[in-house]
């Protein structure tokens, strides 16, 4: 089977496995048992492609090794690093990933793509200017009732296809490759128990990015703010002058977050506050807010704004209790990758060898690589080819998946040549 046929066949198989993670689960890892369905499937497939040291540990991490294949002359001349390739098995918990029905739009002619079970929200060129680049290609979507799962099952399919290609073509040189498939990335815990030392790579790459040719070496610095509000509950018929409604205070708190500083109104390197979950009742309410900036100074600035809102509400209603708890999520991986420039430039060289102009970009989000960088494993992020992640309007061109495999193959050659 050629690269195109194999990567598509794998991808279509993986997206049909429901692997949603679940936020807020503290008593087990991974957060959902169903993620292990795909993990166990990958263990068997890794064995089938001839990988060594295939295992799944107690936390659901799947790891494997493809031994190096290096010409004897090169091997004697340079030390060849061990390269890691990683992708995550879980999908975004807020949009269903159950019973995914992938649809292939063959020979995409341009224009909008209608989703059979979400006809009111077609994938439109004005919202997706990248569509113009894929006229004549085949594009995969869901039927609109679920997300597709290209984030990150495209990355998994591309890594698995690479291993298959390298194993079946002994003429293709490559370093020792360590593979890792992680759970719970979408809820910020993808590397919570990942043993970087045991993984044993000198450099690594996550396959978790978007458009073709992107090499992402920067992420947000990320914190999560929990705003806990306590009110006073009494019977509403006799509440005048007595009730302190935590629900109304929560709504007031959210309304005071500036509209120009939320995800819906920001792009590029702009910071944001993202209140994405509100729970509670009259007695107590909780707001969960993502705090995102490319610098730690930016984080402090936005957290100071949350504190100002807290004080404003207490001035308005001093009988309430309002506390803000800040939890660190991850930091900008560029702080580490700037000390390992070759890990990024070699990826750019691989992109060039595949006929693309590399685009070094910053991620408006995070990947497993952000934490891995700070655990001693420099790990930039490469394109897996998909668009509109976390959405029922998710789509991925087959040509972009093929190109991702070709970039990985070229990257392995670069490491053999340069050591």
| Domain CATH number, residue 91 | 3.40.630.10
Name the H helices within 22-125.
35-48, 72-77
Residues 264 and 346 in one domain: no
Residues 132 and 22 in one domain: yes
Residues 123 and 187 in one domain: yes
Q: What is the pLDDT of residues 115-147, one digit of tens each?
A: 999 999 999 999 999 999 999 999 999 999 999
Query: Domain boundary at 295, 312, 329, which?
Result: 329
What pTM value is reported for the model? 0.91
> What's the pLDDT at 25?
94
Please tell me whether residue 55 adopts helix, strand or coil conformation: strand
The count of domains in the chain is 2
Which letter does DSSP use for residue 63 in this model? E
Query: Domain boundary at 306, 329, 352, which?
Result: 329
Q: What is the pLDDT of residues 213-270, one digit of tens each?
A: 999 999 999 999 999 999 999 999 999 999 999 999 999 999 999 999 999 999 999 9
Mean pLDDT of 143-171: 97
Which of 6, 152, 185, 348 is catalytic? The answer is: 185
Least confident of 69-73, 88-92, 281-285, 322-326: 69-73
Q: Does residue 74 register a pLDDT over 80? A: no
Q: Does residue 77 register a pLDDT over 90? A: no
* Calpha distance 164→168 (Å, rounded): 6
Mean pLDDT of 339-345: 97
> What's the pLDDT at 419?
80
* Calpha distance 157→9 (Å, rounded): 9
Which of 6, 90, 214, 271 is catalytic? The answer is: 90
Residues 29 and 142 in one domain: yes
Q: Looking up tokens 């169903």, which residue turns up?
A: 34
For this structure, is 348 an active site residue?
Answer: no
Q: Does residue 56 register a pLDDT over 80? A: yes
* Calpha distance 258→275 (Å, rounded): 11
Domain extent at residue 79: 3-219+332-418
> What's the pLDDT at 211?
84
Q: Does residue 76 register a pLDDT over 60? A: no
pLDDT band at 197; cut points 50, 70, 90? very high
Name the H helices within 126-224.
150-168, 196-199
* Calpha distance 296→277 (Å, rounded): 24
CA R_g for the chain: 23
Residues 55 and 172 in one domain: yes
> What's the pLDDT at 365?
85
* Calpha distance 271→297 (Å, rounded): 11
CATH number at residue 308: 3.30.70.360
Mean pLDDT of 84-99: 97
Residues 155 and 268 in one domain: no
Residues 9 and 50 in one domain: yes
Name the H helices within 333-397.
334-337, 341-353, 368-374
Q: What is the pLDDT of residues 57-68, one digit of tens each?
A: 999 999 999 999
pLDDT band at 72; cut points 50, 70, 90? confident
* Calpha distance 417→377 (Å, rounded): 21
Query: Domain boundary at 329, 361, 396, which?
Result: 329
Q: What is the pLDDT of residues 372-411, one digit of tens each?
A: 999 999 999 999 999 999 999 999 999 999 999 999 999 9
Residues 199 and 53 in one domain: yes
Q: Does residue 333 register a pLDDT over 90? A: yes
Average pLDDT, the chain: 96
For this structure, is 185 an active site residue?
Answer: yes
Task: Select the more confidently predicted residue: 329 or 56.
Answer: 56
Residues 284 and 359 in one domain: no
């Amino acid at each position: 089977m050629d690269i195109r046929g194999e990567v598509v066949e794998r991808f279509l198989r993986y997206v049909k496995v429901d692997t949603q993670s679940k936020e807020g689960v503290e008593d087990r890892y991974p957060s959902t048992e169903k993620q292990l369905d795909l993990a166990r499937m990958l263990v068997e497939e890794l064995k089938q492609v001839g990988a060594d040291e295939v295992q799944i540990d107690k936390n659901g991490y799947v790891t494997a090794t493809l031994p190096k294949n290096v010409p004897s002359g090169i091997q004697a001349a340079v030390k060849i690093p061990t390269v890691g390739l990683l992708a995550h098995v879980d999908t975004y918990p807020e949009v269903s990933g159950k019973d995914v029905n992938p649809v292939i739009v063959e020979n995409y002619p341009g224009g909008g793509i209608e989703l059979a079970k979400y006809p009111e929200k077609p994938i439109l060129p004005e919202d997706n200017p990248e569509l113009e680049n894929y006229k004549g290609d085949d594009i995969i979507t869901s039927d609109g009732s679920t997300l597709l799962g290209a984030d990150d099952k495209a990355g998994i399919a591309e890594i698995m296809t690479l291993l298959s290609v390298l194993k079946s073509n002994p003429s293709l040189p490559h370093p020792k490759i360590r593979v890792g498939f992680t759970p719970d990335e979408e809820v910020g815990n993808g590397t919570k128990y990942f043993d970087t030392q045991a993984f044993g790579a000198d450099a690594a790459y996550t396959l978790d990015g978007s458009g073709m040719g992107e090499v992402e070496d920067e992420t947000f610095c990320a914190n999560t703010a929990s705003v806990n509000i306590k009110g006073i509950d009494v019977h509403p018929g006799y509440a005048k002058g007595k009730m302190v409604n935590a629900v109304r205070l929560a709504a007031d708190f959210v309304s005071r977050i500036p509209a120009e500083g939320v995800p819906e109104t920001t792009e590029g390197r702009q910071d944001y506050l993202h209140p994405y979950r509100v729970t509670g009742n009259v007695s107590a309410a909780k707001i969960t807010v993502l705090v995102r900036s490319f610098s730690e100074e930016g984080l402090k600035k936005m957290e100071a704004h949350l504190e100002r809102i807290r004080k404003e509400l207490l001035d308005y209603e001093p009988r309430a209790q309002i506390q803000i708890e800040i939890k660190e999520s991850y930091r900008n991986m560029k702080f580490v990758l700037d000390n390992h420039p070759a890990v990024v430039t070699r990826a750019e060289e691989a992109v060039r060898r595949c006929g693309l102009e590399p685009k070094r970009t910053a991620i408006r989000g995070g990947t497993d690589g952000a934490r891995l960088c700070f655990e001693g494993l420099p790990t930039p992020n490469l394109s897996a080819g998909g668009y509109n992640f976390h959405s029922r309007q998710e789509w991925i061109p087959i040509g972009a998946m093929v190109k991702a495999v070709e970039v990985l193959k070229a990257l392995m050659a670069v490491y053999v040549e340069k050591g």
